[in-house]
Amino acid sequence: MYIIKVGGGSQINLAGVVADLAELQEPYLVVLGANAARDALGVKLGIEKTELTSVSGYTSVYSDDDAIDLIMMAYAGLHNRRFVELCQRHNINAVGLSGLDGRLIQGERNRGIRVREGGKTLIKRDLSGKPRSVNGALLEMLITQGYRPVLSIPIIDEQGYAINSENDDIVSILQETLQADRIVQLIEAPGFLDDPDDPDSVVDLISANELKDREEQVKGRMKRKMLALRRLFNGGAKEVIIADGRTEHPVRDALAGKGTIIQ
Amino acid sequence: MYIIKVGGGSQINLAGVVADLAELQEPYLVVLGANAARDALGVKLGIEKTELTSVSGYTSVYSDDDAIDLIMMAYAGLHNRRFVELCQRHNINAVGLSGLDGRLIQGERNRGIRVREGGKTLIKRDLSGKPRSVNGALLEMLITQGYRPVLSIPIIDEQGYAINSENDDIVSILQETLQADRIVQLIEAPGFLDDPDDPDSVVDLISANELKDREEQVKGRMKRKMLALRRLFNGGAKEVIIADGRTEHPVRDALAGKGTIIQ
């Protein structure tokens, strides 16, 4: 079983991804991002995105009720359903689901993010949290019957409320439950770059042991990404492939070894 | 098994509906409308709704690509997910699905609607169609496992494209496949009114045999509604209850016999 994480950037070649998935023999599920769709809709609706950077240096989106509405419309609504439609047109029997549905991705709401504002340290609490468990029975039932789950935020908190969460963390918890043989992450870059400004600096192979050192070298969202990768291997991942989602055949290329392989 | 059709008007008491469903012993699925949510979002996004009236007198929404986007955002996205969230907060393990997911509601795209425009009869073709079959295996698998499906448009056409469809027709095809014991339809009126302008003219009981005559008496969308009711009984329905979705306990009241019972 593979987990295919498709980034939510506007340059991701979704038609190419789906055409490749239609050829894939291995069962899989998709974790689908929709940043670009969310941001575009937010602009149209006049809902502004607020990002917070915690005192420990991690950046995340501040999620109020409007932000959850936006996620439901853009992630679970438009982007997920258009992706499912694309799958169905390629005879992939996709089922689009959010973490709310069947309590698929159960999370724990964040107690608050410690931020610095005007020289003070404040705690800001929002509708976001960390995924803690997965309804593996439902996912396995669907996959066994030939369906291909396509998962999008929001996830569900302890009280049944919709909350935002990071897709990297969702992939980690899915891995812990489903023990996928391979995880493919399609992004808007040719792979993991040694120098973020140089697309020719793709690192072909990273050992899982190196991830801790790499995490200390990088900043912002990339810091969180490296932490999430480390958690994937703690959760039993054997192989993670970070590859370019913008090529003609993103999945085919990734499985052929293009991009960065982490083992 | 019950089919609960929840209208998409802004006055429907969704919290009351879900509180009632949480007490229901019988398994069920929900067909969820979202007209008001769709129209409100359409206004915000500047996407105008076009209605067409066919030469034979039936009115329907003209669905282009923008209209499908809007349906995905408002029906399958926001409204469905907020409803599922409400269910989860009441310990109902709801699963929100569109007709695309698992090819749940398969339709046949309309060949075109014959309309009169400027003294001429034209054929206008859009992204809409009639539901023709249901993935009953998936629905039964979910319901048997304790999940409660919450269905919203769009549905899927022969080529895998998302199309708009009438919820009344969707309920008919679900009935043909699932043979529900009861169908409850929650609307923004106290039941079927003999005089549409007089809320005190609720008809307590209608015989299924009367539906054809009633259909000839009414106009516009109500004509389509009576036709759909007739199709429900042709599809094996035993009892349909049309009741007020605006009361404190819409489902409890409906099952207690308030509203219009059609047998």
Contact A77 B82 (CB under 8 A): no
Q: What is the pLDDT of residue B130?
A: 94
Q: Chain B contacts of A156, Cβ < 8 Å?
A: 85, 88
Average pLDDT of span A245-258: 97
**Tally of structural domains, chain A:** 1
Q: What confidence tier does B215 reach under pLDDT thresholds 50, 70, 90? A: confident
Q: What is the pLDDT of residue B235?
A: 87
- Percentage above 90 pLDDT, chain B: 76
What is the C-alpha to C-alpha distance for residues A22 and A93, in angstroms, rounded to an integer? 10
Among B85, B91, B94, the residue with its CB nearest the CB of A162 is B85
Among A76, A89, A90, the residue with its CB nearest the CB of B77 is A76
Q: Which domain holds residue B247?
A: 2-262
Q: Tokens at residue B141, please?
A: 């698998």
Q: What is the pLDDT of residue A143?
A: 98
pLDDT tens digit sequence for B236-257: 999 999 999 999 999 999 999 9
Average pLDDT of span A137-166: 97
Q: Chain B contacts of A45, Cβ < 8 Å?
A: 44-45
Q: B interface mutation test: which of A73, A157, A161 has the most B CBs within 10 A?
A: A73
Residue B222 has pLDDT above 90, yes or no: no
Tokens 């999430």 map to which residue?
A228
What is the C-alpha to C-alpha distance for residues A96 and A104, in angstroms, rounded to an integer? 12
What CATH number corresponds to the domain at position B42?
3.40.1160.10
Q: What is the pLDDT of residue A241?
A: 97
pLDDT tens digit sequence for A4-31: 999 999 999 999 999 999 999 999 999 9
Residue A219 has pLDDT above 80, yes or no: no
Contact B85 A138 (CB under 8 A): no
Say yes or no: ipTM exceeds 0.90. Answer: yes
3-state secondary structure of A129: strand
Average pLDDT of span A33-53: 90
pLDDT tens digit sequence for B50-77: 888 888 887 777 899 999 999 999 988 9
Q: In chain A, where do the E strands start and end?
A: 2-6, 28-32, 50-53, 59-62, 94-98, 105-109, 113-117, 120-124, 129-134, 148-152, 155-156, 162-163, 182-187, 205-206, 240-244, 260-262
Q: What is the pLDDT of residue A39?
A: 92
Contact B93 A103 (CB under 8 A): yes
Q: What confidence tier does B263 reach under pLDDT thresholds 50, 70, 90? A: very high
Chain center to CA of A117: 29
Report chain A residues touching chain B, CB-CB < 8 A.
Answer: 41, 44-45, 69, 72-74, 76-78, 81-82, 84-85, 88-91, 93-98, 100-103, 138, 141, 145, 147, 154, 156, 159-162
Contact A100 B96 (CB under 8 A): yes
Mean pLDDT computed over every residue of chain B: 93
What is the C-alpha to C-alpha distance for residues A205 and A233, in angstroms, rounded to an integer? 15
Average pLDDT of span B115-138: 93
